[in-house]
């Protein structure tokens, strides 16, 4: 509950362990702290059944990992990343509740789906070279185009 008695809102944040997603998580936490919201940090991974569906030729015969083990590894990596961001960042605000989830699927689709009813969706920016840095990565673009809530794409700081 927020100070005025309303239920706290939700900021969904896509995380993948990259520098961009760490910056996105920091921003999501700051936004949530200002609003009295909570953060739902979501790591989306592609399950083995998606790998084999995309494979052809010799790659199709490559054994895939156990789905349960993969899910556990993804959950552990996501929790570790969130804990590191919470501990390594200097916070000038009271930290909001931060939950961590791992969900199988295509990142943009899953994040847009989970952001239905959320107050905001926060993702990192991924550039591709000098010209590419002006363009969004595929996940960010998919979220901007399809989310039913405001989307914040957090850029990486420009090199000095």
CATH number at residue 114: 3.40.50.620
Report yes or no on 23 lying in a domain. yes
Distance CA 106, CA 40 (A): 17
The answer as to whether 160 is a domain residue is: no
**Residue 72 located in a structural domain:** yes
Report CA-CA distances (Å) from 119 to 15, 63, 148: 17, 41, 9
- Inside any domain, residue 1: no
Q: Is 158 helix (H, G, I), strand (E, B) or coil?
A: coil
Q: What is the mean pLDDT of residues 57-84?
A: 82
- Domain membership of residue 159 (yes or no) is no
5 within a domain of the structure (yes/no): no
What pLDDT, in 10s, does the model give residues 9-38?
999 999 999 999 999 999 999 999 999 999
Q: Would you say residue 32 lies in a domain?
A: yes
- Domain-embedded: residue 4: no
Classify residue 18 by its DSSP letter. S
Domain that residue 82 falls in: 10-154
Q: In this model, does residue 160 exceed pLDDT 90?
A: no
Contact 97, 39 (CB under 8 A): yes
Number of independent structural domains in the chain: 1
Tell the residue number behind the tokens 């930290």, with chain if given: 95
C-alpha span between 77 and 46 (Å, rounded): 14
């Amino acid at each position: 509950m927020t100070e005025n008695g309303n239920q706290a809102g939700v900021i969904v944040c896509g995380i993948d362990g990259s520098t961009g997603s760490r910056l996105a998580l920091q921003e999501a936490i700051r936004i949530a702290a200002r609003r009295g919201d909570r953060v739902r940090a979501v790591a989306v991974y592609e399950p083995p059944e998606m790998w084999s569906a995309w494979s052809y030729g010799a790659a199709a015969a490559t054994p895939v990992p156990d789905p349960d083990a993969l899910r556990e590894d993804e959950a552990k990596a996501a929790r570790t990343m969130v804990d590191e961001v919470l501990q390594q960042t200097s916070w000038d605000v009271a930290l909001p509740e931060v939950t961590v989830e791992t969900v199988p699927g295509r990142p943009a689709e899953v994040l847009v789906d989970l952001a239905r009813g959320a107050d905001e969706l926060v993702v990192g920016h991924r550039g591709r070279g000098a010209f590419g840095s002006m363009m969004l990565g595929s996940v960010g673009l998919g979220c901007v185009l399809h989310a039913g809530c405001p989307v914040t794409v957090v850029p990486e700081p420009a090199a000095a």
